[in-house]
A and B are shown apart, each in its own frame.
Chain A
Amino acid sequence: AQRVTQPEKLLSVFKGAPVELKCNYSYSGSPELFWYVQYSRQRLQLLLRHISRESIKGFTADLNKGETSFHLKKPFAQEEDSAMYYCALSYGGSQGNLIFGKGTKLSVKP
């Protein structure tokens, strides 16, 4: 079955430190991978998707099909990056509906 795994429930870093939020998925075909973010008291919103290969708010993520990973990275964390981050997968059979991981809470300390 298709699954998304985010091994860390909580990740705490200091401002200016690099950040890597891990995401692994299980799907044998060609999925579409996303990172969603939820800031405090705000709704869930799309941060980036692998297909666009963009850098959003300094974050990047590369799809590694060999390792079935889609880790989210930022070289220098900012306090405003503190939020809940969800990795999600969509595939042909899901018709666009998303399979989410359990999420990682990122805390950036001053």
Chain B
Amino acid sequence: DAGVTQSPTHLIKTRGQHVTLRCSPISGHKSVSWYQQVLGQGPQFIFQYYEKEERGRGNFPDRFSARQFPNYSSELNVNALLLGDSALYLCASSLVWGMSYEQYFGPGTRLTVT
């Protein structure tokens, strides 16, 4: 198993555009979480999905949305991009959701907004 995979690795967008980031969890994992990591900061929680339902949402504007597919992969969508959205976006998967289950992180997608 390659672990959690994310695509694309890097992308550059212009202010006002929208972007879709993709994540494939470890085989057998049913929960996916998204984090935003701005340079010099720790990751900040955006969303969690389990069994295709949103189970948690961080303090992010409605421009951010996500979904999970029947195969447990996930997409993060960001509309009306702002310069401040430039960050590393991390996806993490876990077997189920809850405190006792370890999250495994992907390599991230580096988004640059110009």
Contact = CB atoms under 8 A, between A and B. Distances in A.
Contacts of B48: 95-97
Interface centre among B42, B100, B107 (most CB of A within 10 A): B42
Interface residues of A, number: 24
Contact of B43 (A90, A92, A95, A100): A100
A102 B42 CA distance: 4
A86 B42 CA distance: 7
B33 A97 contact: yes
B45 interface: yes
Main secondary structure of the interface of B (DSSP, over half): loop
Contacts of B72: none
B17 to A, nearest CB: 27
Interface stretch (A38-46, A55-63, A69-77): A38-46
B25 interface: no
Given A43-B108, A46-B102, A91-B99, A96 B43 contact: no
Contacts of B90: 44
Interface string A21-64: 00000000000100000000001111001010000000000000
Given A46-B102, A96-B103, 10 more contacts: A43-B107, A44-B105, A45-B104, A86-B42, A90-B99, A95-B56, A96-B48, A96-B94, A96-B97, A96-B99
Interface of B: 3-4, 31, 33, 35, 40-45, 48, 55-56, 58, 90, 94, 97-108
Interface of A: 4, 6, 32, 43-46, 49, 51, 86, 88, 90-92, 94-103
